[in-house]
Chains A and B, each alone.
Chain A
Amino acid sequence: MKTKAMTEQLELFGCIQCGKCTGGCPVARKTVLNIRSMIYNMLVEPELDVKAHEELWDCTCCFTCVERCPKDVRPADLIIELRGQLVESGRIPETIGAALMGTFRQGNPSGMAREDRAAWVNGTEVKAAQEGCELLYYVGCTPAYDLRVHTVTRALARAFTAAGLDFGTLGTEESCCGNEIKRMGEAGLFEMLVEENSELFRSVGASRLVTTSPHCFNTIKNEYGLDGIEVLHYTQLVAALIEQGQLELSNEVNKKITYHDPCFLGKQNHVFDEPRAIIQAIPGVELVEMDRNRERSLCCEGGGGRMWAEGTNLEERLAFQRVHEAAETGAEILAVACPFCLLTLEDAVKVQGLDEQIQVMDIMELVNLSLGEE
């Protein structure tokens, strides 16, 4: 691949090679991925053999590099572009190929049947957004299909109903938001999703859109350009509902809880306070912080398409480190606000044998407990 065009397109000439990107990169510590050095290669070498860089698939798109680059270079964007080159040439991990195909065919990267997308509802009363609603609840693929996450989606629907909100979902018509697709390098498919989804979202006439996942929230809020529709992550909406007295958390949850900031919610969108506000609004809860929190939260390795690509060095997973950090606080519950974090960290708790000590729960599962019996 010729480097010149991409170097110009991404304005890599501004890089001063300070190393802040690689220095803070959570995966650079365990694999050969070195984005600073890759930028340098792009600048000084006329050609780059992209396929020789298997480690491109290690990046989780946590965007720590982008957030901290003092010269606005956006190093992770280079990785996404280089993945794009690999996608175009078809030299991609099989699992990534399957995720892209699944999204193309069934509207979700896990390739599950579109007709099953609304199965999570399971008797919960949820209106079809197509009938018109004030709040569009964009469920997202993993929350819609992954059985482990159904407690979260149902808890959200329940909370919205309890708060008296006029909300609806797109049911089986909902498709992948494309956040992960874009980061896997499939820009074409991403654009198609943005176009189709935007049209669908607008047709509903909702003034607000809320997502389960920080990943969907990120792309819909920052990359869709939906003028006139306010895009929220559920933690923002639920925190506001609690503060305005529309949602009453009455049951005590007598637990010591620590909270893990998801990269796509915290680092990338600076939503730090609302998740904590919800946790602290639950009677009986004691919130304790891990040493690395907020902007310094350690990535769980679930983003940037990594739910569908193992990456190199499977042995030292960041999620392992993270659950040990959580356990060290003495917390009984590790609270999360992202379906990927929920899955990766819960798995890590099991693999690390910490399940007697600490339990991973989504904030909505905690809210659900506090709302009491249905």
Chain B
Amino acid sequence: MERHKPAALIIGAGIAGIQAALDIADAGYPVYLVEREPSVGGRMSQLDKTFPTLDCSSCILTPKMVDVGRHPNIELMTYCEAVSVEKEGDTFRVQVRKKPRYVDVDKCTGCGECAAACRMKGRVISDFDEGIAKRSAIYVPFPQAVPLKFTIDPNSCLMLTRGKCGKGPLCQEACTADAIDFEQQEKFVDLDVAAIIVATGYDLIDPRTKPEFAYGIYPEVMTGIEFERLSSASGPTMGDITIDGKKPKDVVFIKCVGSRDSHTGVPYCSRFCCMYTAKHAHLVRDKVPDANITVFYMDVRAFGKGYEEFYDRVKQEQVMYRRGEPSEIYRRNGRVVVLAEDTLLGQPIEVEADMVVLATAAVPRADAAETAALVGLEMSPDGFFQEAHPKLRPVDTEVDGVFMAGCCQGPKDIPDTVAQAKAAASSALGVLARREKQLEQMDREDGIEDKSND
């Protein structure tokens, strides 16, 4: 890297972090892209199709993931976390913790023999698949992972939790590249950067905070993100929408679960649920043509480009939109029953279902406060990061040189996230360019000639 090129740090490698990294790197500045999961991709990599165009999410995301993986100006730091940030003048001194993967990434070929051999195979809940599938203790979260390097989950690996795995770790026996390394320790790396973009994303509310919907009690009741994994062609059912191996006949969607709700502390609208629910309804119609599909709604917010048109289309596909927020789910004669008032009829109704999908509220990351403290961000009352001005400085923060993008600032869909990522990248580039000029100036004053263009 050239001496005068100041670098940017991006925290979080979902679609926001990926897009910002690519824009900055393409402009010629170095980027450290830090991601705490073993792979880049974030939420978008979990999704099946995307509204309103129905592009396959991983088909449009994977090329970008590959690009960040091999871009000469991007240093990908997966399974890593920024642990301290100190500002000295215009420079941020950042310490990054590299968590041990217990796999030597330089040797690992990503062949997967280790996972196939693992004694815990099929016994560890896959977070990526939202608990509807199981994996091994040594794993890649999904087949398109970048980097395609295996990681040992320290919480479920027998060797790491008990110090013993039968007569010897089977992964080690299976690995022909000799990449397994149980002695690996965490490492700390110090970085100097001139700009930081925070793109840490969002969590989804635990639907158990709405006990009336009996999530976790009835297997028929699932969340929207679980439905994404169920519907995804690369998911555990290869895209078959089934419950217990059977195609559902009656499918009910419930919107605003936990959002717009004073009880859960989520007063705001989660913004993307209306559209993904319309998309889910479409996917059910597509894959289970004779299903009875009911969407319970309080309001339908189809505000983006092509969104209202998509909502129109889904309704034409004989998806029954009924106005009323369901109040309860219970079981009667073996089937789950959704209790609601159809407010347009003015009558309480009961809808039997084989599958109920809850559009759960997007909430700030559980550790958002720690991230805020790390970088020096303010938080708005909803718990998301506070922008410097709600209208005129939407990606700036109170800290000069720190920007943010995506859902860590508030719930938003993919187009808005990407737009914000590009805005954050553009703002960061301004800082980097100014810093570069300063450095050149200082060098000139010191009588050092710039030879980087020789």
* Residue of B whose beta carbon sits closest to that of A24: B327
List chain A residues, Cβ under 8 A from B340: 19, 23
For residue B214, CB closer than 8 A to chain A, the reply is: yes
- Total interface residues on A, CB under 8 Å, equals 25
Evaluate contact between B326 and A23: CB separation under 8 angstroms.
yes
* Residue of B whose beta carbon sits closest to that of A30: B348
Evaluate contact between A68 and B298: CB separation under 8 angstroms.
no
Per the bound structure, the CA–CA distance linking A20 and B329 in Å amounts to 12
Q: Which of B260, B261, B262, B328 contacts A24 (CB 8 A)?
A: B328
Evaluate contact between B211 and A20: CB separation under 8 angstroms.
no
Per the bound structure, the CA–CA distance linking A70 and B343 in Å amounts to 16
For residue A124, CB closer than 8 A to chain B, the reply is: no
Q: Mark B327-363, 1 if CB is under 8 A from A, else 0.
A: 1101100000001111100101000000000000000
List chain A residues, Cβ under 8 A from B339: 23-24
Interface centre among A25, A36, A68 (most CB of B within 10 A): A68
Evaluate contact between A296 and B346: CB separation under 8 angstroms.
no
For residue A294, CB closer than 8 A to chain B, the reply is: yes
Taking A18-B298, A19-B323 as contacts, is the C-beta distance between A68 and B212 under 8 angstroms?
A: yes
Q: Chain B interface mostly helix, strand, loop or mixed? A: mixed
Evaluate contact between B262 and A72: CB separation under 8 angstroms.
yes
Evaluate contact between A23 and B262: CB separation under 8 angstroms.
no
List chain B residues, Cβ under 8 A from A36: 341, 343
For residue A29, CB closer than 8 A to chain B, the reply is: yes
For residue A28, CB closer than 8 A to chain B, the reply is: yes
Evaluate contact between A18 and B343: CB separation under 8 angstroms.
yes
For residue A2, CB closer than 8 A to chain B, the reply is: no
For residue B38, CB closer than 8 A to chain A, the reply is: no
For residue A71, CB closer than 8 A to chain B, the reply is: yes
For residue B228, CB closer than 8 A to chain A, the reply is: no
Q: Which of A71-93 contact B (CB under 8 A)?
A: 71-72
Give the A-B contact count at a CB cut-off of 8 A: 74
For residue B3, CB closer than 8 A to chain A, the reply is: no
Taking A28-B348, A68-B212 as contacts, is the C-beta distance between A20 and B263 under 8 angstroms?
A: no
List chain A residues, Cβ under 8 A from B324: 18-20, 23
List chain A residues, Cβ under 8 A from B211: 294-296
Q: Closest CB of chain B to A324's CB: distance in Å?
A: 11
Evaluate contact between B214 and A23: CB separation under 8 angstroms.
no
Evaluate contact between A70 and B341: CB separation under 8 angstroms.
no
Evaluate contact between B348 and A291: CB separation under 8 angstroms.
no
For residue A344, CB closer than 8 A to chain B, the reply is: no
Q: Mark A289-324, 1 if CB is under 8 A from B, else 0.
A: 001101110000000000000000000000000000
Per the bound structure, the CA–CA distance linking A292 and B325 in Å amounts to 19
Taking A70-B261, A70-B262 as contacts, is the C-beta distance between A19 and B343 under 8 angstroms?
A: yes
Evaluate contact between A22 and B261: CB separation under 8 angstroms.
no
List chain A residues, Cβ under 8 A from B348: 22-23, 25, 28-29, 34
* Residue of A whose beta carbon sits closest to that of B340: A23
Q: Mark B259-278, 1 if CB is under 8 A from A, else 0.
A: 01111000000000000000
For residue A17, CB closer than 8 A to chain B, the reply is: yes
Q: Which of A33-88 contact B (CB under 8 A)?
A: 34, 36-37, 64, 68, 70-72
* Residue of A whose beta carbon sits closest to that of B331: A291
Per the bound structure, the CA–CA distance linking A70 and B268 in Å amounts to 11
Evaluate contact between A70 and B260: CB separation under 8 angstroms.
yes
List chain A residues, Cβ under 8 A from B298: 16, 18
Per the bound structure, the CA–CA distance linking A289 and B33 in Å amounts to 50
List chain B residues, Cβ under 8 A from A19: 323-325, 327, 340-343
Taking A23-B348, A70-B325, A296-B212 as contacts, is the C-beta distance between A28 and B262 under 8 angstroms?
A: no
Per the bound structure, the CA–CA distance linking A36 and B325 in Å amounts to 12
* Extra A-B contacts (13), CB below 8 Å, given A18-B256, A24-B328, A34-B346: A20-B324, A22-B327, A24-B339, A25-B348, A28-B348, A29-B348, A36-B343, A70-B261, A70-B262, A71-B262, A72-B262, A294-B211, A296-B214
Can you show 28 pairs from A to B with CB atoms below 8 A apart?
A: A16-B260, A18-B256, A18-B325, A18-B343, A19-B324, A19-B327, A19-B343, A20-B324, A20-B341, A21-B327, A21-B341, A23-B325, A23-B326, A23-B348, A24-B327, A24-B328, A25-B327, A25-B348, A70-B256, A70-B260, A70-B262, A70-B263, A70-B325, A292-B330, A294-B211, A295-B212, A296-B214, A296-B328
B contact residues vs A (CB 8 Å cutoff)? 211-212, 214, 256, 260-263, 298, 323-328, 330-331, 339-343, 346, 348
A contact residues vs B (CB 8 Å cutoff)? 16-25, 28-29, 34, 36-37, 64, 68, 70-72, 291-292, 294-296
